[in-house]
A and B are shown apart, each in its own frame.
Chain A
Amino acid sequence: MVFDKQNYVPGTHPDLPPPPGTVGIVGWVKNNLFSSLSNSILTILSLYLLYLLIQGGLSWFVVDAVVNANDKPSCRKIGDGACWAVIVKRFDQFIYGFYPLAERWRIDTSFLLLLIAAAPLLYPDIKFRKYMLIFSCLYPFIAFILIKGGVFNLLMIETNLFGGAMLTVIIGVTSIACSLPLGILLALGRQSRLKLVKLLSVCFIEFMRGVPLITLLFVASTMLNYFLPPGTNFNLLIRVIIMMTFFSAAYIAEVIRGGIQAIPKGQYEAADAIGLTYWQTTRFITLPQALKISIPGIVNTFIGLYKDTTLVVIIGLLDPLGIGRAALADTKWNGLSTETYLFVAVIFFISCFAMSRYSLWLEKKLSTDHN
């Protein structure tokens, strides 16, 4: 059979396969890695970099690494890679701090309950959302009683025993939960027609955003007591949470203000036209739309806050980083800073990366664009 284009009636030519080298793996490699000379050089450089990383990384992290040893010298005798023994020996502390061993089920339970309480807030489509939201509202009280104790035959635990990842979660979740309502109020205040309210909100927001968090934490640890009635002296953890709340409230206020400003003017005009009051407009028109737009921004603020909880180590609280530094101060593990800090870095990376993926997913889901 002779394939000659003249033999076909116009329009009846069968589809030919695409030319070899433009589809499949070969085509993909050609298009994405070696499409031009500069591209090929870049690919080879990248491959070389990867080779160096994998070769060096594998031997240090895995092949020559030591997992089981009692101190650094015995670690070094077994292999010259990473000495993960410092992590293995103190793993419990990295999670629970110095929380008493017999009471750790309380932390586990409150963490599991946190997942249940957070589910209806994070996944709008979940079943029985209404009933679960009631539980979410009750959760802070349940968690407080569980973790702190003192009632229902639960042993009272001093907050200076709190530490590790648990402390990070406590500070992060409490601060963000408290800063949301405050942030909404500040955002509304900044958009307010009342000059004085606006001025106060702007001052608060700009002050909090203008100074580094570490100075605010110093304020909390050194001079907050001056502003309270003489004789009051309350817990450092609570002081830290208050400062973190103020700090993130300022950032959340700016995120929400962005959401409020994105609402078309027609919405307010329509609300005015049907005679809604300011608070009705805010409750039924402004906030539902503004909050929806700003959720990804709020999640990003939360990621920032969650990362910033590491700063508490500077004023003496023992979050995972603080536990790591305590381990390094021990003469047995002196000098293993790379292993310790990398481990803490990986903990933070996993949780922050998961949160940022969630934020992206939510952004896509909430988007009402048509493209």
Chain B
Amino acid sequence: MSFDLLKIWRNEKSREIIVQIIVLIIFGWFISWLAGNVSGNFEKLGKDLSFEFLFIPAGYDINQYLISYNNRDSHLRAAVVGLLNTGLVAFFGIIIATIFGLFLGVLRLSKNWLANKIAYWYVEFTRNVPILLHILLWHGIIINTLPHPKQAIDILDVSYLTNRGFYIPKPIAEAGIELFYLFTIIAIIFAILFNKFSKKRQENTGKQLPVFWINLIVIILLPCIALILNNFPISFSIPELKGFNFRGGLHLSPELIALTFALAIYTAAFIAEIVRAGILAIHKGQREAAESIGLKPDKVMNLVILPQARRVIIPPLTSQYLNLTKNSSLAIAIGYMDLVATLGGISLNQTGREMETMVLVLLIYLCISLSISSLMNWYNYRVKLVDR
């Protein structure tokens, strides 16, 4: 009998199964221990696990909302407002970070010694300082060093920078704007189709069209035509100083600006390094070969270097975007009402349901991360080099 047991243990297949069963037992015991503790603690405190609190009125105000909200709305709606605020910061942060990061990356590759060194020290200083400090620093600069609304910094009499935020003109749509939306969509669809067409044409005939310029003109011109046809159905609400504060216009709170700006410049430093590494990763023989067959410098970049560098750049770039989105949760430090500050902050404190709110917050972030990373895996799979 003991001989048989030893034999089972020595067989690789059966040993694997035995080890996994042991792991399963330990894991199951651990989970049941945790669950037992949770139910014990809940019983002791007289609590229960329920998500009904989501539908009772939240009772607190949120100073910035993309969908209508007031303090009689439910906790669920407050959480959605918070999630949208997270999305807003992430969206603009990613756009600014990408543009600024590309610019810095190009400077880091430049042959100009001085510009290169300035970019280098900028990148090093930015990425070696914690993101939370960036956020607090910019928030402090806006609320402590910018003037009061009475002495606001005036930009062309339409925008004002104050320590209570920035006030900019707000476009207001009037009757007849639908044509503008329609033409914009048509222009974008045209650009996509034209891109495909010219690619096919190049593959068949070898002739190239100035795709970028034509698309740019169409995308700018078509919506403009729509505006002219309907006699400019857009008006602007201009901020005006009334009493102690500005009325009208679009108000960007100091929190929103500080958070977006800090996240953008912090992430841009990482993006710059990713871009640089991606372009340097292309073997120099590729560039030499492209130059030797007589391609011009911009063609070398667009047709030879960038398509290859893109494969190296995109995966870490996506994870930087994800980092930016996750870092936006630091909004709570300056009182910007994002998901963590609403659902995981005030809702948690008001209802006392730590377990439910935190589980929801964690799950939402997990969903965002997992969906973006699966999208990235799909992209990697599509662009990966095919071994033949």
Contact = CB atoms under 8 A, between A and B. Distances in A.
A86 to B, nearest CB: 13
B44 interface: yes
Interface stretch (B1-9, B56-64, B105-113, B302-310): B105-113
B102 interface: no
Interface of A: 32-33, 35, 39, 42-43, 45-47, 49-50, 193-197, 200, 206-207, 209-215, 218-219, 222-223, 225-230, 303, 307-308, 310-311, 313-314, 321, 325, 335-338, 341-342, 344-345, 348-349, 352-353, 356
B88 interface: no
Interface of B: 16, 19-20, 23-24, 27, 34, 37-38, 40-42, 44, 110-115, 118, 124-125, 128-133, 136-137, 139-141, 144-145, 326-327, 329-330, 332-333, 340, 344, 348, 354-355, 358, 361-362, 365-366, 369-370
Given A47-B114, A215-B340, A348 B129 contact: yes
Nearest first, the 3 A-B pairs at minimum CB distance are: A337-B140, A210-B369, A352-B128
Contacts of A228: 37
Contacts of A325: 136
Most chain A C-beta atoms within 10 Å of own C-beta, residue among B20, B38, B130, B355: B130
A247 to B, nearest CB: 12
B362 A219 contact: yes
A33 to B, nearest CB: 6
Contacts of A352: 128-129
Given A196-B23, A226-B41, A230-B40, 10 more contacts: A42-B112, A194-B23, A200-B23, A214-B329, A223-B358, A225-B41, A226-B37, A226-B354, A310-B132, A313-B333
A226 B115 contact: no
Nearest to B331: A214
A200 B31 CA distance: 12
Contacts of B125: 349
B133 A212 contact: no
A314 B130 CA distance: 14
A210 B366 contact: yes
A222 B20 contact: no
Contact of B37 (A194, A212, A218, A227): A227
Contact of A310 (B24, B41, B133): B133
Contacts of B340: 212, 214-215, 218
Given A215-B362, A345-B137, A32 B130 contact: no
A42 to B, nearest CB: 5
Contacts of B110: 42
A195 B110 CA distance: 49
A349 B129 contact: yes
26 contacts: A33-B112, A42-B114, A42-B115, A50-B114, A195-B20, A196-B20, A207-B366, A211-B362, A212-B327, A212-B365, A219-B362, A222-B354, A223-B358, A229-B37, A230-B40, A230-B41, A307-B129, A307-B130, A310-B130, A313-B132, A325-B136, A338-B145, A341-B136, A341-B137, A348-B133, A352-B128
